[in-house]
Amino acid sequence: MNTRTAPSLLAKNLAKTLAVAALALSSSLALAQPKVMRIIVPYAAGGPIDVTARLLAERVKDSLGTVIIENKPGGGGNIGVDAIAKAPPDGLTIGISAVATHAINPWLYSKMPYNAATDFAPITQMVRVPNVLVINADTARRLNINTLADLISYAKANPAKLNYASGGNGSAGHLAGEMFKAQAGIFALHIPYNGGNPAQLALLSGQVDFNFDNLATASANIKAGKLKALAVTTAKRSALLPDVPAVAETLKGFEIDTWWGLVAPAHTPKDVITKLNQAFVAALNSPEAKTRFTTLMAEPVSNTPEQFGAFMKSELTRYEKVVKASGARVD
């Protein structure tokens, strides 16, 4: 070997060895970095769904590590939920499924970017929030309406004189109103607004007579005496409003409420789903979560992946009839 080239060759070999070692060290460090899980919330920050998701993300960090919330609103929730469906099925991306995204929208939109029945692996339900039939308090006094039976009797005696608001065609409030009209055998004009807040303002100002609102949204005005709660839409009375009867006490079988839960992309390994279920169910059952949920007028609901999957399937089937009967379409 040429003695002049030996140092140069040695230097090259040393540099190559150091480069390989550095790459190995870099890879080891990358693998050692804690993985971050994200929960996709298909609605804007600040709402009840976002708040509950953030609450649970904080409570599972000891068992699952860092969990961040990523808000992807738009398309009635379809944009964010589509992102969940198309994420890698590795357990690091999960998200919120809701009555709108997994039971109503598939029948409301002519084209869906995901398949609500097959593109997701259920983890657990999180929450049930009762909807409540509320009437403007001044209207109730003027028309002497104190109960749900009074409202039905007035509507039958005064055809086409009542109207009701909703947050838009195909919204939970709209569908509840159409179910109520059909079962009660009455007519009330549906007036859709661009969102729940405008609908509530119309009710408070007396522009409309009643609506079916989310209890979390309506509770403050009920307590203030501006709205009169006539009935909740859950199958039984809600512990959050125990003195208010269920619609089903007057109209047998009536039930419609708001729910949401956690899902992962389809084909996420079963052991990963089990681990996620255990962590989030423990968080849902913690005294701190139950207390916080109560302040949001939400009832925590935890179950197995199989139970939540069966529930979502039944809701998808049930809302097909409800949406088609309402005639509501978005596109």
How does pLDDT run across 301-325, given as a tens digit for each residue?
Answer: 999 999 999 999 999 999 998 888 8
Helices 172-184 and 305-326: angle between axes, nearest 10 degrees: 70
pLDDT at 145 over 80: yes
pLDDT tier for residue 125 given thresholds of 50, 70 and 90: very high
172 closest CA partner among 96, 292, 76: 76
For the segment 25-46, what is each residue's pLDDT rounded down to a tens digit? 444 433 444 589 999 999 989 8
For the segment 215-243, what is each residue's pLDDT rounded down to a tens digit? 888 888 999 999 999 999 988 898 888 99
Which residues neighbour 97 within 8 Å (Cβ) at sequence distance 6 or greater? Answer: 81, 84, 120, 122, 260, 261, 262, 263, 312
Helix (H, G, I), strand (E, B) or coil at 227: strand
Residue pair 197/185 in contact by the 8 Å Cβ criterion: no
Options 3.30.70.360, 3.40.190.10, 1.10.8.590, 3.40.50.12280; CATH of 131-249:
3.40.190.10
pLDDT at 13 over 80: no
pLDDT tier for residue 260 given thresholds of 50, 70 and 90: very high
Rounded Cα–Cα distance for residues 190 and 233 (Å): 18
On average, the pLDDT of the chain sits at 89
Rounded Cα–Cα distance for residues 76 and 172 (Å): 12
277 closest CA partner among 85, 66, 101, 122: 122
Give the type of residue at 134.
Answer: V
CA 246 to chain CA centroid, Å, is: 22
Helices 270-284 and 305-326: angle between axes, nearest 10 degrees: 80
Q: Which range scores top for mean pLDDT: 145-154, 236-245, 295-304?
A: 145-154
Question: Please, where are the H alpha helices in 224-298?
Answer: 270-284, 287-295
Output the pLDDT for position 302: 93
Helix (H) or strand (E) holding 1: none
pLDDT > 70 fraction of the chain, expressed in percent and rounded: 90
Domain coordinates of the chain in residue numbers? 37-129+257-326, 131-249
- Is 3.30.365.10 the CATH number for 37-129+257-326? no
CA 235 to chain CA centroid, Å, is: 19
Residue pair 212/177 in contact by the 8 Å Cβ criterion: yes
Same fold for the pair 37-129+257-326 and 131-249: yes
Between the alpha carbon of residue 236 and those of residues 124, 195, 219, 245, 267, the distances in Å are 22, 27, 18, 8, 36
Predicted model pTM: 0.81
Calculate the CA dihedral of residues 41, 44, 48, 54 and round it to 10 degrees: 50
Output the pLDDT for position 30: 39
